[in-house]
Amino acid sequence: MIQKDPPGIVIYLQQEGRGIGLANKIAAYSLQEQGLDTVDANRALGLPDDCREYTSVRNMLRDMGVKSVKLITNNPRKINVLTKLGIPVSGRIPCLVEAGAYNAGYLEAKRDRMAHMLPEGDGELNGDFCFWDHSGEPTQAIITTAAKGGMDLPAGLAHGDNGRVVPVAAESA
């Protein structure tokens, strides 16, 4: 995209799993495989929904003399945080991927629970704005926790009849 419409900068921050770290991200994936969505998985582990920090981005952009940015993002929090840090956001380029059997719930959680700017329904999630080459990716979900015996659910959660993770009803005293 930048090659077709220069100038541009890609800044990668090593903030895996919305800032929770790689080990916690793997634990959250395990909970997602058991039925939690991406938000509830973080919360079940006692972690925030998104704890990424962007001060270093502001500092890098200032050092390079960048006056404003157009972000490739669906995340309104990212736009708000950069704006609060003093980086003028002149526009947003959506990054849409096709909703499929294995990512539809994830995309819905991002849209409905984290206010990501994604279209309603599945008609518009067609991958038109996706800049990722998906060739070579698995066509079926990979269940790593099943191979390793899985991971127990945190206290207070159980598998519901429909396969979703549900809160355990508190026992009466």
Q: Tell me the average pLDDT across 20-27.
A: 84
Kindly state whether residue 84 falls inside one of the protein's structural domains.
Answer: yes
52 counts as catalytic: yes
Other residues' Cβ atoms within 10 Å of the Cβ of residue 87: 20
Kindly state whether residue 8 falls inside one of the protein's structural domains.
Answer: no
pLDDT at 116: 85
- Amino acid letter at 16? E
Q: Is the peptide bond before 7 cis (omega within 30 degrees of 0)?
A: yes
pLDDT at 167: 67
CB 36 within 8 A of CB 165: yes
pLDDT at 159: 58
Kindly state whether residue 117 falls inside one of the protein's structural domains.
Answer: yes
Which residue is catalytic, options 43, 52, 92, 111? 52
Domains contained in the chain, number: 1
- Cα 41 to its chain centre, rounded Å, is 12
Tens-digit pLDDT profile for residues 26-84: 888 888 888 888 888 888 988 888 888 899 999 999 999 999 999 888 888 889 999 99
pLDDT at 160: 61
pLDDT at 134: 40
Kindly state whether residue 6 falls inside one of the protein's structural domains.
Answer: no
pLDDT at 119: 77
CB 10 within 8 A of CB 44: no
CATH number at residue 55: 3.40.50
Kindly state whether residue 95 falls inside one of the protein's structural domains.
Answer: yes
In whole angstroms, give the CA distance from residue 73 to residue 98.
15
Kindly state whether residue 3 falls inside one of the protein's structural domains.
Answer: no
Which residue is catalytic, options 50, 58, 77, 92? 50
Tens-digit pLDDT profile for residues 90-99: 998 888 888 8
Q: Tell me the average pLDDT across 113-122.
A: 76
Kindly state whether residue 124 falls inside one of the protein's structural domains.
Answer: yes
Tens-digit pLDDT profile for residues 132-169: 344 443 333 333 233 333 445 556 666 566 555 556 76
Q: Secondary structure of 63-120 in the HEC alphabet?
A: HCCCCCEEEECCCHHHHHHHHHCCCCEEEEECCCCCCCCCCHHHHHHHHHHHCCCCCC
Q: Over 70: is that where the pLDDT of 103 sits?
A: yes
Kindly state whether residue 116 falls inside one of the protein's structural domains.
Answer: yes
Q: Tell me the average pLDDT across 108-130.
A: 66
The range of the structural domain enclosing residue 148 comes to: 16-133+140-167
Q: Is 42 exposed, middle or buried (0-12, 13-18, 19+ CB in 10 A)?
A: buried
